[in-house]
């Protein structure tokens, strides 16, 4: 199975050819743990999970690395603002380390319930300060840095290819159009590698360094940690589309300036999930979390299914109605699959028929071609509805496909554990009596009464079925 993927560097879909024949290294920008992840963040991790699964499915020995940013994020004003972790700490009264621990835990709860495979290596920025300092020293030796106003800066004028990924036209950028330019910078696009400015006297996170006590610049951690775990050059670097112009641009500059080698072969970026008002942003205040979806009665996999219906390089518009539609689709899909299990006595047979093989080929072509998941999902529906293929063969195909979709397609849907209250049972009993006496007016009014109390009654061959509606 030949995988192809869109490379932001070339702005085209390229055949995936690993640097080394037997292993693939993939680094994904992880969460900043000063707050809950919103569902826009989670869309990106779902996309990366799909890529992870497709590479594994294709037989590659994958090493997937993700960072946890628990330090050094500035809230605004370029390199001037307050650290987000610090602010959160001040607001909540918790220590910065407790904040990080709490939101890291919450992040993995979310990704776990979305069936996102935890990366092989997850690494915290605060555990890799020494690696970052070492990287700055390498840059210093090669003449890419300067010290000004107490901070160590990277000088982009020493790196002629600066901005290649984002195709920046440096002379036409209006730096400072929206923010104040840091007067310590020689070039407005220079960025901080190490802060020592005693701006925040009570800064909780600070470390000793050859340039004084301080803390690292934001971009540094990804360069230092990815190279530690994956080497000076590796295959894939993922992240959100917003990282192209600043974060990844700066990462490339400092990494390649330090090693003199090409750092990453394939740059893969996921588009945003937006709502009617546009981009989701934590800084807007209120934002949508997975817990909120769950509180509203959705299954986390409803959201995963929703993400699967759009291509990762297109913006996806979130609304409650769309999520409801995804929920309906996912539940119907599972119902159909349950029927297939029944029809085959839950026995699986390997793909043998031409029809089944054709479906499998179609599926693999779609997933291998720049993550065409929506088409792959359509193939699954085609399989489920097919009238020719042996149900036992279908089951093994579904199981195979679910290794990518990860929608728990072969598991029973969770049942409500709450017992039906006595009051409802009594009403249902009364209705059954009324029906027996062919008093349908009475039976129907009882059904209405039960519905008003939040339960639906269904008459089936095997008796009455009661389900909760609220």
Q: Of 125-154, which residues contact RNA (CB under 7 A)?
A: none
Q: If binding is defined by CB under 7 A, does position 272 make contact with RNA?
A: yes
The two structure tokens encoding residue 435: 């029906």
Q: If binding is defined by CB under 7 A, does position 96 make contact with RNA?
A: no
Q: If binding is defined by CB under 7 A, does position 391 make contact with RNA?
A: no
Of 73 and 304, nearer to RNA (C-beta) is 73
Stretch that binds RNA, among 90-98, 193-201, 305-313, 406-414 (CB under 7 A): 305-313
Of 142 and 279, nearer to RNA (C-beta) is 279
For 181-220, the DSSP string reads: PPTT-SSTT-EEEEE--TT-TT-S--B--TT-SBEE-TTH
Distance between CA 407 and CA 356 in Å, rounded? 21
Distance between CA 261 and CA 255 in Å, rounded? 8
Counting residues that bind RNA (by CB under 7 A) gives 90
Stretch that binds RNA, among 37-45, 87-95, 142-150, 395-403 (CB under 7 A): 37-45
Q: If binding is defined by CB under 7 A, does position 430 make contact with RNA?
A: no
Q: How far is the CB of 31 from RNA (least distance, A)?
A: 6
Q: If binding is defined by CB under 7 A, does position 218 make contact with RNA?
A: yes
Of 18 and 103, nearer to RNA (C-beta) is 103
φ, ψ at 5 (rounded to 5°): -150, 145
Q: How far is the CB of 346 from RNA (least distance, A)?
A: 18
Task: Give the residue from 114, 81, 102, 51 showing the smallest Cα distance to 367.
Answer: 51
CA distances from 51 to 3, 67, 229, 307, 417 (A): 10, 17, 19, 14, 35
Q: If binding is defined by CB under 7 A, does position 444 make contact with RNA?
A: yes
φ, ψ at 345 (rounded to 5°): 55, 30
Q: If binding is defined by CB under 7 A, does position 372 make contact with RNA?
A: yes
φ, ψ at 365 (rounded to 5°): -60, -45
Q: If binding is defined by CB under 7 A, does position 12 make contact with RNA?
A: no
| Residue 12, strand partner residues | 7
Can you tell me whether residue 103 is helix, strand or coil? helix
Q: If binding is defined by CB under 7 A, does position 216 make contact with RNA?
A: no
Distance between CA 430 and CA 427 in Å, rounded? 5
Instruction: Please check whether residue 62 is in contact with residue 26, taking contact to mean a CB–CB distance below 8 angstroms.
Output: yes
Identify the residue among 228, 282, 348, 453 touching RNA (CB under 7 A): 282
Q: How far is the CB of 390 from RNA (least distance, A)?
A: 17
Q: How far is the CB of 6 from RNA (least distance, A)?
A: 11
User: What is the DSSP-derived secondary structure letter of residue 214?
Assistant: B
Q: If binding is defined by CB under 7 A, does position 265 make contact with RNA?
A: no
Q: If binding is defined by CB under 7 A, does position 103 make contact with RNA?
A: no
């Amino acid at each position: 199975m030949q995988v192809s993927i869109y490379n932001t560097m070339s702005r085209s879909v390229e055949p995936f050819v690993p640097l080394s024949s037997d292993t693939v290294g993939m680094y994904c920008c992880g969460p900043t743990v000063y707050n809950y992840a919103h569902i826009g963040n989670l869309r990106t991790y779902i996309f990366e999970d799909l890529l992870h699964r497709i590479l594994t499915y294709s037989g590659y020995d994958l090493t997937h690395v993700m960072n946890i940013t628990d330090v050094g994020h500035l809230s605004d004003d370029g390199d001037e603002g307050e650290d987000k972790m610090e602010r959160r700490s001040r607001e909540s009264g918790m220590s910065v380390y407790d904040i990080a621990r709490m939101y890291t835990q919450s992040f993995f709860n979310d990704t776990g319930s979305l069936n996102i495979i935890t990366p092989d290596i997850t690494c915290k920025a605060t555990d890799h300060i020494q690696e970052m300092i070492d990287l700055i020293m390498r840059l210093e030796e090669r003449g890419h840095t300067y010290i000004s106003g107490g901070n160590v800066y990277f000088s982009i004028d020493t790196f002629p290819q600066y901005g290649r990924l984002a195709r920046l036209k440096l002379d036409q950028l209006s730096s400072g159009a929206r923010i104040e330019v840091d007067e310590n910078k020689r070039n407005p696009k220079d960025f901080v590698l190490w802060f020592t400015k005693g701006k925040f006297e009570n800064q909780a996170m600070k470390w000793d360094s050859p340039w004084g006590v301080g803390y690292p610049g934001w971009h540094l951690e990804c360069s230092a940690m990815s190279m530690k775990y994956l080497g000076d050059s590796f295959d894939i670097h993922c992240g959100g589309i917003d990282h192209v112009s600043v974060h990844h641009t700066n990462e490339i500059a400092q990494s390649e300036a330090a090693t003199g080698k090409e750092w990453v072969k394939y740059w893969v970026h996921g588009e945003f999930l937006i709502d009617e008002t546009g981009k989701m942003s934590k800084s807007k205040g209120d934002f949508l979390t997975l817990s909120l979806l769950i509180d509203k009665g959705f299954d986390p996999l409803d959201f995963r299914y929703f993400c699967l219906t759009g291509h990762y390089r297109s913006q996806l518009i979130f609304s409650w109605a769309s999520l409801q539609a995804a929920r309906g689709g996912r539940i119907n899909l599972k119902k159909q699959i349950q029927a297939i299990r029944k029809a085959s006595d839950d026995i699986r047979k390997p793909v043998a028929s031409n029809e089944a093989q054709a479906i499998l080929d179609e599926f693999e072509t779609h997933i291998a071609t720049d993550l065409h998941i929506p088409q792959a999902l359509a193939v699954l529906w085609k399989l489920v509805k097919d009238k020719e293929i042996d149900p036992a063969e279908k089951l093994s195909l579904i199981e195979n496909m679910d290794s990518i979709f990860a929608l728990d397609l072969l598991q029973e849907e969770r049942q409500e554990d709450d017992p039906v209250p006595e009051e409802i049972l009594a009403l249902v009993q009364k209705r059954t009596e009324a029906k027996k006496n062919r008093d349908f007016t009475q039976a129907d009014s009882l059904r209405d009464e039960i519905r008003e109390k939040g339960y639906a009654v269904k008459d089936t061959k095997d008796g009455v079925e009661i389900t909760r509606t609220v």
